[in-house]
Structures are given as C-alpha cells and as structure tokens.
C-alpha cells in the first residue's frame, strides 16, 4: 500500500523529485538538534530565497562540499578570496550577497553558540524545546510566516544574521522541526 504524503508539492505541477520526496519523508518537520545541521539548514534556506527548494535539494551536496561541510568555524574564517572562489562554483547558487550572508551567519552563529552553549539551545528556546504542530488538514492552510517566525527573525537580525526574514525563518523552523506542518493524514508526520 502506498504511503500518503502531504497534499502540496515541493515542485511545480506536483512533480516531486526523488530528493524532494526523501527530504519530505525523512527530514522536513523532524526535530534537528545538531548544531552543524542547524547552521547548514540556515544557509540552505537563505540560498533558497527566490529559487525553488527542489533546486536547493539538487545542489545540496555541492553546497556541503563548497562550504566545507557547513562547519561554521571554517566558514566564519572565509575571506574575499574564498568568496571569489565560491562565485566561480557552478554547483551552487552564485549570488554574492547570499554567499556573504552565509559567512556573516557563521560568525553570528558562533557568537550565539558561545553565549548560549549551543545554537540548538538558543533556537529551541523560542518554543521551550517543543515542536509546534499546526495539525494542518490541507497544505493550503500553511502560512508563509507567523508570529513565531517574526519573533525569531527579529532576534536573528538583531544578532547580525542575514537573509533571515520571517518567511525564510518560517521555512527554516519547519526544516529543523520546530514547526511541524505535515498534514494530519500524512504517513510521514
């Protein structure tokens, strides 16, 4: 028997790539607590602005390679030469502002980690460590942003993070499992 998935699409015309299906089934809205992955998702969500999530998933391994496995300690030390190198990498999104944001975010990420012990404890503190489950019955009811994403966005911006508007942050919170927007009848909740 085929498993039931959420009634929305990660792509156009309800065409799911294998990577999008795997992401939906195994990672999306699943609680993530590893700091490196929390940073990775922040970079990927920022890179997604203005392009499809399918494209980001197709290029994810290239991003991981190009950004040294998303090690924030290494990325925080990138200089202009590394930015120029990344601008030549056809395997990633070659947008200077997004690349520079990934570097600025690594630096801000490390400051938060130093202050709070881990980025995990910081980001999950907004919900007291609990997942917010919207129990959607229809994917059309999923908001693009909400009060929580507005609050988290404002705090991240205050701390020097870039490409962290409320819509990107909402998607980020879904991606790391702080928000669960799987439809109630989805077998992958």
Of 28, 32, 39, 53, the active-site residue reads 53
pLDDT tens digits for range 14-51? 567 889 899 999 999 999 999 999 999 999 999 999 99
Residues 6+ apart with CB under 8 A from 108: 156, 159, 160, 161
Beta bridge partners of 162: none
Residue 11, pLDDT above cutoff 50: no
DSSP 94: -
Tell me if 184 sits within 8 A of 136, measured CB to CB. Answer: yes
* Stated pTM of the model: 0.94
C-beta separation of 103 from 83 below 8 A: yes
Q: Which residue has the tokens 């609050």?
A: 151
Tens-digit pLDDT profile for residues 134-169: 999 988 899 999 999 999 999 999 999 999 999 999
Q: Where are the beta strands (DSSP E) in 7-136?
A: 132-133
> Catalytic one among 28, 32, 39, 45?
45
Q: What fold does the segment set 18-180 form as a domain?
A: Endonuclease III; domain 1 (1.10.340)
How do residues 53-84 score in pLDDT, each as one tens digit?
999 999 999 999 999 999 999 999 999 999 99
State residue 7's pLDDT score: 77
């Amino acid at each position: 028997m085929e498993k039931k998935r959420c009634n929305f699409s990660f792509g156009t015309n309800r065409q799911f790539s294998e990577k999008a299906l795997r992401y939906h089934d195994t990672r999306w809205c699943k609680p993530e607590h590893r700091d490196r992955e929390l940073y990775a998702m922040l970079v990927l969500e920022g890179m997604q602005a203005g392009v499809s999530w399918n494209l980001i998933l197709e290029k994810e391994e290239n991003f991981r390679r190009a950004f040294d496995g998303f090690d924030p300690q290494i990325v925080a030390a990138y200089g202009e030469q590394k930015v120029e190198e990344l601008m030549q990498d056809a395997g990633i999104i070659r947008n200077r502002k997004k690349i520079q944001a990934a570097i600025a975010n690594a630096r801000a990420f490390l400051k938060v980690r130093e202050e709070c012990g881990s980025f995990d404890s910081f980001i999950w503190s907004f919900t007291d460590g609990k997942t917010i489950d919207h129990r959607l019955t229809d994917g059309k009811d999923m908001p693009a942003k909400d009060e929580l994403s507005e609050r988290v966005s404002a705090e991240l911006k205050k701390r020097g993070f870039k490409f962290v508007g409320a819509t990107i942050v909402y998607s980020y919170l879904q991606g790391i499992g702080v928000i669960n927007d799987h439809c109630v009848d989805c077998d992958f909740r």
